[in-house]
Structure 1
Amino acid sequence: MNTTATTTALLKLGGEVVAEESALRAVLADVRALCEAGWRFVLCHGGGPQAGALQERLGVPTVKVGGRRVTDPPTLQIMKQVLAGEVSVDLVAAAVAAGLPAVGLSGVSCGLVTAHRRPPARVSGGGDAPVDFGFVGDIDEIRPAVLLHLWAGGYVPVLNSLGLDGSTDPQRATRQVYNINADTVASAVAAALRVDHLFLVTGIGGVMRDKDDPTTRIPVLHASEARQAIADGTVVGGMIPKIEEALDNLRHGIGAVHIIGPRAGCLEQAARRPGTQGTALLPDDA
């Protein structure tokens, strides 16, 4: 693994990590130390717990299929408020307090993430019937120019997972915004930037054979093993899309995807020795 002064990384933070002050502080201290050593980071965040809490307060049902949120119009409004509002502001504030020159932006900014509405389809963990996810976007293109511009200026971009309608036909172009799984956005941006490391930081902290028992952590999953873990039910719920996106990244040439917990030192340890923290997903030939 390349850990020289030119190392680039994308760090995806789940909403549960952003909400936990001590955990977030530990991770951001790692990011600051690595940035001071010459690394460049993009931080990408979700906001699932915050969205769920707001939906409950407003009486808007949360519907998920195979670990993925169904986004009807009221849910889309909530996702905008949570992702571009509460979680983005809180994460940028914490990053600045940690000494990072953080800049918050949306996948909508400069058309960074363009997408189209996902057609109904069968999904892992969702049964045999096609599922209509509503205003959920499938990514068309990542336009990373604004991220590169911020890196050149010495800033740390903090990106949420909203996307903009990507139609280039003037007769069809709209200002429609889509909710996109944050792991999907993180994966696509990591591939577009060709980063050296993709870190997925979650409260779970890795793939467990028993999701309720942290002692069953799987240190390393090669691609074929990960696919089997989904098929046999070892991987369930919200971990399914994380693993599927990780497998897609491996196919696109990223050397390792790290699913880790929010602990001090976790980023550099995972990069230097895959599997020492959380779970490292590797190609079959690694």
Structure 2
Amino acid sequence: MPEQIAATLIQALPYIRIFAGKTIVIKYGGNAMIDEELKKAVMRDLVLMRLVGINPILVHGGGPEINEAMKKLGKEPEFVAGRRVTDAETMEIVEMVLTGKTNKSIVAHLNGEGVQAVGLSGKDANLLIATKDTDNGDIGFVGKIAHVNPEIIHTLTNGGYIPVISSVAVGADGQAYNVNADTAAAALAAALHAEKLILMTDVEGLYRDFSDKSSLVSELTASEARQWIADGIVDKGMIPKLEACASAVEDGVPRAHIIDGRRAHALLIELFTDTGIGTMVR
């Protein structure tokens, strides 16, 4: 047993060298945010990353919690091309849940694991500036990132903190916008010159045919990802994920990954093993 542990650490050593001092942007979502054991595994993965010199930046969603809060208030969630239709009342719910509840819960978990984490929304220090997203028609206060001001992130990571960011952005007029968390993570990864963007989800990765689990795609280019979206090979919630990966790579991030957050320690498997998991966009 001690020998196996030592062998695992030796296998990880080259990757620790590669990523030490580098920034990794992680979108945290799906079942890994709900299942308590998976949540604990993710928090410990982040702690280990921070302690070996990597700068993890965590961007989180909170779709199930938002849905639950909406239904309690008699509102039925509605989506268009993977984006939540967001009227004024829904925007208040989104901000309350993401910034007021989910964000601070994640921060508390990380602090409890022995690292220092700080919660932010896109409003803080004008981190995420957005304009209204009308690509899919008028679906309310849904935003697209127009600009990222990363100075606050540099200040926190230089001080040894893990930034935890909710995907609520702000417009030039002070209006709050609901931004898809995958989209926000991609914009942050590009602005921070991240080494990797990692999107955690509830599937193994990207499939050519979702009904055929043997059709998992391990790697594709950004242009191929765009073509898959145009051809309708992917739909619903996978569209913003694949768009985010393509956008990040086109904006200079060397690699973007969609990984299965249902696997315990999925982040460490992706970063520190020879095979990795999920789908990589390059």
Fold equivalence (TM over 0.5): yes
Q: Decide whether the 8 Å contact of 1:15 with 1:50 is kept in 2.
A: no
Cα RMSD after superposing both structures: 2.0
What does residue 187 of structure 1 align with?
Answer: 186
Q: Decide whether the 8 Å contact of 1:92 with 1:103 is kept in 2.
A: yes
What amino acid sits opposite 1:239 in the alignment?
M
- Among candidates 85, 109, 112, match of residue 94 of structure 1: 109
1:27, distance to aligned residue in structure 2 (A): 1.9
Q: Does residue 234 of the first structure (1) align with residue 249 of the second (2)?
A: no
Q: Does residue 165 of the first structure (1) align with residue 171 of the second (2)?
A: yes
What does residue 203 of structure 1 align with?
Answer: 202
Correspondence 1:1-286 to 2 at 5 A? 3-118=18-133, 120-122=134-136, 131-166=137-172, 174-211=173-210, 214-262=213-261, 263-271=263-271, 276-282=276-282
What does residue 4 of structure 2 align with?
Answer: none
Distance 1:6 1:152 in 2: 10
Distance 1:156 1:250 in 2: 23
Aligned pair in 2 of structure 1 residues 138, 231: CA closer, same or farther (>3 Å)?
A: closer
In structure 2, stretches of 5+ residues that fail to align are 1-14
Q: Decide whether the 8 Å contact of 2:130 with 2:170 is kept in 1.
A: yes
Between 1:89-98 and 1:103-112, the stretch displaced more is 89-98
Counting helix residues as a fraction of each chain, which structure ranks higher? 2
- Give the SS at the match of 1:3: helix
Q: Decide whether the 8 Å contact of 1:43 with 1:159 is kept in 2.
A: yes
Between 1:76-85 and 1:210-219, the stretch displaced more is 210-219
- Give the SS at the match of 1:103: strand
- What is the number of residues matched between the two proteins? 266
For normalisation by structure 1, the TM-score amounts to 0.86
In structure 1, stretches of 5+ residues that fail to align are 123-130, 167-173
Q: Decide whether the 8 Å contact of 1:205 with 1:260 is kept in 2.
A: yes
What amino acid sits opposite 1:142 in the alignment?
V
Aligned pair in 2 of structure 1 residues 47, 265: CA closer, same or farther (>3 Å)?
A: closer
Distance 1:25 1:71 in 2: 31
What amino acid sits opposite 1:276 in the alignment?
G
Aligned pair in 2 of structure 1 residues 190, 37: CA closer, same or farther (>3 Å)?
A: same
